[in-house]
């Protein structure tokens, strides 16, 4: 198959296992590496009927590669997490709207990650480093054995309390200096209850927040309308409207989402 | 004339490939992947009188060889479409087919009247008598031959635009329904829409789809569609547009042999957005290699 606009044949150049069920994969695709923004995702082919969506975890524009994290949740992700180096896959991307760094210019960032949200948030933190944006990073995991993509600068929390702060992401957020918080915007990717709690935390501090919504997807490019997120309707008399996670999202302002 | 051009009644297409309703929205998104002027046509998302937000999620369930959806006709409504999307569709360089889905006879008539005012921007109306994901209209009308004949003849009185009737496979005898559409004055039938199905999550013992059931599409349904096209081809005088699980040029050729004058690609676009580009090139090569015009194949099936 030839390359089309936004649809590429790409090679898996590296794969490492971060823990028993999570792989970190490097894919060679200069067009995606050069144009992707944090919060965007790619769709990757496997032997199943539909492609699988993954948040972009990092890019290397020098080598023309991007990274994804693959947690095994079903047969498709099991297969992708085991892809050999050298395997050629079909990739669509970059897809969706990520975090709007243009609109966030001049702000400090509070990045919060839970579950597989550590991957897109990792891209956001490396983007901040590369562009001299001040940020704090909070990660939440169930227990110490689940901790991945972490380092000494991270405000680490675990539900079990066997690593970092004992508690959830909000307990981690509470440790951030008030002065920093006042000038910050919060960007959060993780399970729904965690994103909701973090969004409410931001609202209680009087700052804006953005969340990355997830829903079962088919096409990933906005044509099938299956991956909808319920958001507040504009003033047209409707109670809500369905928007596409893959096209209008996955990143939405927290206050627009109906939880 | 190129080797893959074809005709559906009076509508001349430069390719047999039409993008199926509900798998291409109004063309904006797929234009990011390829130039839609290579297509024969594009059929709009199914429109209703009022905007619809559709069914709650989860709306998709994957199967071994296809998928189920329960979108439920989410669309911006016919007025918004006329104001915001119809002109755009006319810039794409292929035929513009507008898909209409009502909850009642009155809905269908109201929309046909509205769209009739823009007849110069519309090449055909595709009448959705087959969506399985809404409670009223659509499939409940489309599975009853007498109602099909009645609604088609009512619309026939309202417009000179070609009326293509999209049929549901969820019936005992599709020939009966297709004949009713023909008797009502249809210019063509499109078959098939999705098959009604269910997928169960064995952990929760609940259907994966929030709507419980959904429309099954993809390569798995192709033999059903081919059988129905072949059956109807024998009894109809009006052209058939074949639809269901097309993933390759061979699939298009199979539909043509079965009796289709043109085809629609739907779920294939969800898996591989630029699939029609590949199929178009392969069809051209196939016709060149075999020294035929594609439309010569229509209805050449020889049954045992």
Query: From edge to edge, which strands make up the β-sheet containing B195-197?
Result: B60-63, B66-69, B214-217, B195-197
Distance separating alpha carbons of residues B74 and A100, to the nearest angstrom:
27
CATH number of B6-54+73-195+218-297, picked from 3.20.20.70, 3.30.390.30, 3.40.50.1220, 3.30.930.10: 3.20.20.70
Beta-carbon separation of A48 and B30 below 8 A: no
Per-residue pLDDT at A43 exceeds 60: yes
Distance separating alpha carbons of residues B155 and B149, to the nearest angstrom:
10
Q: CATH 2.10.240: does it fit domain A213-259? A: yes
Q: Where are the domains of chain B?
A: 6-54+73-195+218-297
Q: According to CATH, where is 2.40.30.10 located in chain A?
A: 7-95
Are A97 and A173 contacting, i.e. CB atoms less than 8 angstroms apart?
A: no
Chain B positions in Cβ-Cβ contact with residue A218 (cut-off 8 Å): 60, 62, 67, 69, 270
Q: Which two tokens stand for residue A87?
A: 């395997």
Residue A1 has a pLDDT of 46
Q: Is B48 helix (H, G, I), strand (E, B) or coil?
A: coil
Residue B130 has a pLDDT of 87
Q: Establish whether B131 is a catalytic residue.
A: yes
Residues of B with CB under 8 A from a CB of A: 22-25, 29-30, 32-34, 45, 51, 53-54, 56-67, 69, 71, 74, 218, 269-274, 277-278
A17 vs B: CB within 8 A:
no
Buried b (16+ CB within 10 A) or exposed e, B44-59: bbbbbbebbbbbebbb
Cα-Cα-Cα-Cα dihedral of B126, B131, B135, B137, to 10°?
30
Residue B1 has a pLDDT of 58
Q: Provide the CB-side half-sphere exposure for B25 (13 A, CA).
A: 21
Distance separating alpha carbons of residues B297 and B26, to the nearest angstrom:
30
Confidence of residue A168 (pLDDT cuts 50, 70, 90): very high
> Which of B131, B138, B243, B287 is the catalytic position?
B131
A4-30 pLDDT per residue, tens: 788 999 999 999 999 999 999 999 999
CATH class of A112-201: alpha beta
Min Cα–Cα distance to chain A from B109, Å: 25
Mean pLDDT, to the nearest integer, of B52-81?
Answer: 96
ipTM of the complex: 0.94
Chain B positions in Cβ-Cβ contact with residue A92 (cut-off 8 Å): 273
Residue of A nearest to B282 (CA): A1
CATH number of A7-95, picked from 3.40.50.1970, 2.40.30.10, 3.30.1130.10, 3.40.190.10: 2.40.30.10
Chain B positions in Cβ-Cβ contact with residue A241 (cut-off 8 Å): 53
Count, residues in chain A: 259
Mean pLDDT, to the nearest integer, of B79-96?
Answer: 98
Mean pLDDT over the full length of chain A: 95
Distance separating alpha carbons of residues B284 and B16, to the nearest angstrom:
11
Q: State the pTM of this model.
A: 0.95
B221-231 pLDDT per residue, tens: 999 999 999 99
Q: What angle do CA B10, B15, B20 make, to 5 degrees?
A: 85
Distance separating alpha carbons of residues B278 and A2, to the nearest angstrom:
9
Beta-carbon separation of B59 and A228 below 8 A: yes
Q: Is A134 exposed, middle or buried (0-12, 13-18, 19+ CB in 10 A)?
A: exposed
């Amino acid at each position: 198959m030839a390359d089309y606009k936004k649809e590429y044949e790409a090679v898996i150049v590296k794969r490492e296992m971060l823990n028993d069920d999570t792989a970190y994969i490097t894919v060679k695709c200069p067009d995606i590496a050069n144009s992707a923004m944090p919060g965007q995702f790619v769709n990757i082919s496997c032997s199943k009927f539909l492609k699988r969506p993954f948040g972009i975890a990092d890019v290397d524009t020098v080598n023309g590669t991007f990274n994804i994290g693959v947690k095994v949740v079903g047969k498709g992700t099991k297969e992708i997490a085991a892809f050999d180096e050298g395997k050629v896959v079909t990739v669509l991307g970059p897809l969706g709207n990520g975090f709007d760094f243009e609109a966030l210019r001049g702000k400090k960032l509070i990045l919060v990650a839970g579950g597989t949200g550590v991957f897109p948030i990792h891209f956001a933190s490396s983007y901040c480093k590369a562009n001299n944006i001040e940020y704090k990073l909070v990660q939440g995991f169930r227990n110490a054995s689940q901790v991945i993509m972490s380092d000494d600068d991270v405000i680490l929390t675990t539900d079990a309390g066997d690593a970092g702060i004992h508690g959830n992401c909000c307990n981690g957020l509470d440790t951030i200096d008030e002065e920093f918080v006042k000038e910050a915007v919060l960007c959060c990717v993780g399970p729904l209850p965690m994103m909701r709690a973090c969004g409410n935390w931001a609202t209680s501090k009087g700052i804006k927040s953005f969340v990355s919504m997830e829903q079962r997807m088919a096409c990933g490019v906005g044509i099938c309308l299956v991956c909808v997120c319920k958001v507040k309707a504009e003033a047209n008399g409707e109670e809500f409207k369905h928007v596409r996670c893959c096209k209008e999202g996955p990143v939405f302002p927290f206050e627009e989402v109906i939880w | 004339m190129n080797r893959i051009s074809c005709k559906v009644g009076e509508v001349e297409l430069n390719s047999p490939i039409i993008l199926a309703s509900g798998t291409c929205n109004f063309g904006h998104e797929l234009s990011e992947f390829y130039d839609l002027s290579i297509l024969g046509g594009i059929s709009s998302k199914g429109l209703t009188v009022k905007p619809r937000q559709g069914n709650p999620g989860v709306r998709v369930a994957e199967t071994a060889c296809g998928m189920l959806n329960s979108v439920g006709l989410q669309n911006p409504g016919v007025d918004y479409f006329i104001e915001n999307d119809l002109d755009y569709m006319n810039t794409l360089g292929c035929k513009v087919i507008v898909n209409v889905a009502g909850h009642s006879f009155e809905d269908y008539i109201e929309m046909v009247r509205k769209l009739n005012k823009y007849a110069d921007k519309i090449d055909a109306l595709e009448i959705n008598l087959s969506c399985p994901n809404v409670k009223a209209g659509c499939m409940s009308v489309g599975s009853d031959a007498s109602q099909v004949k009645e609604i088609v003849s009512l619309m026939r009185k309202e417009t000179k635009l070609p009326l293509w009737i999209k049929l549901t496979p969820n019936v005992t005898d599709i020939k009966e329904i297709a004949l009713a559409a023909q008797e009502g004055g249809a210019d063509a039938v499109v078959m098939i829409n999705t098959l009604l199905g269910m997928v169960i999550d064995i952990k929760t013992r609940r259907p994966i789809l929030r709507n419980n059931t959904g429309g099954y599409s993809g390569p798995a349904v192709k033999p059903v569609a081919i059988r129905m096209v072949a059956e109807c081809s024998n009894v109809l005088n009006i052209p058939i547009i074949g639809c269901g699980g097309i993933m390759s040029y061979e699939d298009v050729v199979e539909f043509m042999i079965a009796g289709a004058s043109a085809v629609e690609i739907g779920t294939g676009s969800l898996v591989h957005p630029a699939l029609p580009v590949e199929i178009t090139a392969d069809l051209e090569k196939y016709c060149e290699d075999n020294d035929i015009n594609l439309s010569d194949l229509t209805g050449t099936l020889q049954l045992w």
